[in-house]
Structure 1
Amino acid sequence: MSNRKWNIGIIVLFIIFACLLLSFLFSTMRIRGLLQPILSDSVSPGSSLHVVLISQELDNPYWRSIEQGAREASREYGMQLEYVGPFRINPNEQIKLLEKAIAAKADAVLLQGINDPRYRALIDKAVGIGIPVITVDTDEPDTRRLTYVGTDNLEAGKLMGELVAKAAGNGGSIAVLLGNELAPNQQLRLSGFRSVIQRHPNLSIVDVRSSNISRLQAAGVAEDILINSPKVRFMVGFSALDGIGALEASERVRPQELNIFAFDDLDETIEGIREGKIESTIIQQPYEIGFDAVSQLNDYLNGKTLPKQHFTAATVLDRSKISTGSEDNNR
């Protein structure tokens, strides 16, 4: 009798164990199914080419557009894209992320130039050990990077100069806001702008200030300029937050006497143009920058010689284009 009870007990335990095992297997399969869409976009050991994109600021809309383009091209070419960056603009963090990518033996790196000798040395180190590097948005021309993909910032500055010169008519004083006065792309835009304005004796640049890529600082700097330089008729912003910062300042200080020219296509910038408060803005193509950077990398891996620079388009958006519904939606 005792043996029979023992056998029954073993059978019951076996059934319980089998049920638990089946439950565990079903749960594992369900979790795997839920995670599959995420895993398909992440880097896994033994997967195809591992490409690291190091952004200037992780959740910046402009950089998210670059990521979207790069991710789409990565899927097309069978690569795995890893998107990283500091939560707030921090060049030292970008340097650390490049060091990490090199240590992890990434197959390729896409990054923004930051004009730092430590960064340039790391780019050369990466290329020297067989990790291709492509710069996006801002170049590092004095390195071994393969190519630069992004806006021709010198020409964008010239384009801005032509817009202001055309609007100026009888001339006037101009103030300029830069996102970061040390950033090479900002300096190139300013240089191109100056080269056009210098051809017009009736125009003069009376002030150049940095907003430190902050809307609050852009508004504060613009307000200070308007108070202390009451003859300024034109204000130009060369980074995305400068135009709307200048608009805030003008509405507080001088709403009817300032012509604002902006850069990039934030929703508030477009709304300012629609309302006639901002004259126009120069729009970059961040999605194309990301897509083309990965495409250039694919060309290189297939034995093609890359150009030193691969420029993407920069276009002008003004009220006439918004009113006809032809504004650019690539943001």
Structure 2
Amino acid sequence: MTRTGQCWMVAFGLTLMTAACGSSATSDSGEQVTPIKRAEIPQNEFTPLELEATVDALVAAINESPLDEAQMVVLLKNLDDFFAPIATGANRAMGELGVIGNVIGPNVTTVDGPSSQELQNQQIAQAVADGAHGIGVSPFDTTNAAAVDDAAANGVPVVTLDSDLPDSKRSLYVGTLNVPAGATAAKTLLAMLPPPPGTVVIHGILGATWPDGYDRTQGALAAIEEAGYKPVVSEAIFGDENEASDIERMRGNLVAASPPAVGILGLFNISYRCVPAADGAAMPGLPIVTFDFDPRTVDLMRQNRIKATHTQRQYYEGYLVPYILYGMKSIGLEATRAILAPLIEEDESKINIGIDVVPAEKIDAYNDFLVSIGSIQ
């Protein structure tokens, strides 16, 4: 069945997707079809040009193939905060593609109900039962691997995003590669430090049960050690109820540092907590570099307390996945992977969207970029 120029709109971000309904063309069978046309976005100094060019190349290849109807779903951990730009990007891409699709979240549970992982497994199984041609999923952990494998066994390709299941039968991963991301963040901070010796406190994760956090921490550790500083990891404690304990742990590591602390590197979206930790240790002048674009982080950057942050291009994580799923259906996995080659690192299954380095003095410019893609958090 050919793709018929239908523009199927999901509820989130409708105004971003109207450009998907363009002029029609005629297929060999005489049916009206709509070539895929991406919405135009003004260029900004933060626009990832290689990533944009790669998507354009994929669209060009897809447009040369029969444009079939497709059905897909993108499953996220939630639709708020960090995941809101991912939902925006996925919805825009599905609108441009004219596919039947949806972005699903959040996974809300009760004490006596199924876990978020169990609900996500049910969502994956339901997508297969509903006839999806592809699934994008941000898995919680390895307990979601069996559901991914079942989908693949039933002929439904799965692309992971944000977090990965490398030992599952997922076809590709889209997101930040965390070892180089951690190293990049470390180098941003290192440029602000006095010469060694000195201790750098890392708000990170040492337990390998969360591979993404662990890998990011390892990348930062290696870069800091190579530069001649002593890294000390203050294990991050997630959850609003644990904020005071997390800050106190970090404060203790700063006070106990030997040689004295010269900087703090936060690797997660909660790393705005580095600032009250430095204040509690009576070290308000320490250079602090963080990750992500939480509003509290932005406020502290405007106060020049956080010198820079690193964002994970969540919008592009969401935006790429529907195009990849459609490409796999239209031109096949190998052809899609060949077009994505400029973004592939580590192995042939990981698509690296990179990270943005945002200095405090570039907050307004970066906000302009986020506005231009409809991705304000």
TM-score range, shorter chain: 0.7 to 0.9
Quick check: 1:52 aligned with 2:73? yes
Q: What amino acid does structure 1 have at the position aligned with 2:357?
A: V
Structure 2 equivalent of residue 61 of structure 1: 81
Structure 2 equivalent of residue 199 of structure 1: 226
Structure 2 equivalent of residue 152 of structure 1: 177
Find 2:204's aligned residue among 169, 178, 188: 178
Q: Larger deviation: 68-77 or 203-212?
A: 203-212
Distance 2:206 2:321 in 1: 24
Q: What amino acid does structure 2 have at the position aligned with 1:247?
A: V
Q: Larger deviation: 121-130 or 222-231?
A: 222-231
Shift of residue 206 of structure 1?
1.9
Shift of residue 62 of structure 1?
2.0
251 and 100 in structure 1: CA distance in 2 versus 1, 3 angstrom threshold: farther
TM-score (norm 1): 0.76
Quick check: 1:122 aligned with 2:147? yes
Instruction: Note if contact 2:204-2:213 (Cα within 8 Å) is conserved in structure 1.
Output: yes
Distance 1:256 1:159 in 2: 24
Distance 1:252 1:94 in 2: 40
Distance 1:68 1:292 in 2: 11
Higher-RCO chain (CA-CA 8 Å, sequence separation at least 6)? 2
Quick check: 1:269 aligned with 2:310? no
Structure 1 equivalent of residue 108 of structure 2: 87
TM-score (norm 2): 0.68
Quick check: 1:102 aligned with 2:125? no
Find 2:163's aligned residue among 138, 155, 158: 138
Q: Larger deviation: 105-114 or 192-201?
A: 105-114
68 and 79 in structure 1: CA distance in 2 versus 1, 3 angstrom threshold: same
Instruction: Note if contact 1:114-1:140 (Cα within 8 Å) is conserved in structure 2.
Output: no
Instruction: Note if contact 1:174-1:204 (Cα within 8 Å) is conserved in structure 2.
Output: yes
Structure 1 equivalent of residue 351 of structure 2: 310
More helix by share: 1
Gaps of 5+ in 2: 1-7, 12-68, 110-114, 338-348
Instruction: Note if contact 1:215-1:245 (Cα within 8 Å) is conserved in structure 2.
Output: no
What SS does structure 1 have at the residue aligned with 2:269? coil
Instruction: Note if contact 2:234-2:253 (Cα within 8 Å) is conserved in structure 1.
Output: no
Gaps of 5+ in 1: 1-38, 43-47
Distance 1:69 1:180 in 2: 31
Distance 1:228 1:285 in 2: 31
Instruction: Note if contact 1:178-1:211 (Cα within 8 Å) is conserved in structure 2.
Output: no
Root-mean-square deviation (CA, aligned residues, Å) is: 2.6
Q: How many residues align?
A: 283
Structure 1 equivalent of residue 362 of structure 2: 321
Shift of residue 179 of structure 1?
7.2
Shift of residue 189 of structure 1?
0.9
Distance 2:330 2:70 in 1: 13
Structure 2 equivalent of residue 71 of structure 1: 91
Distance 1:170 1:234 in 2: 12
Percent pairwise identity: 20
Instruction: Note if contact 2:162-2:174 (Cα within 8 Å) is conserved in structure 1.
Output: yes
Q: What amino acid does structure 2 have at the position aligned with 1:259?
A: P
Instruction: Note if contact 2:135-2:325 (Cα within 8 Å) is conserved in structure 1.
Output: no
Distance 2:123 2:252 in 1: 42
Find 1:41's aligned residue among 10, 16, 19: 10
What SS does structure 2 have at the residue aligned with 1:313? coil
194 and 228 in structure 1: CA distance in 2 versus 1, 3 angstrom threshold: closer
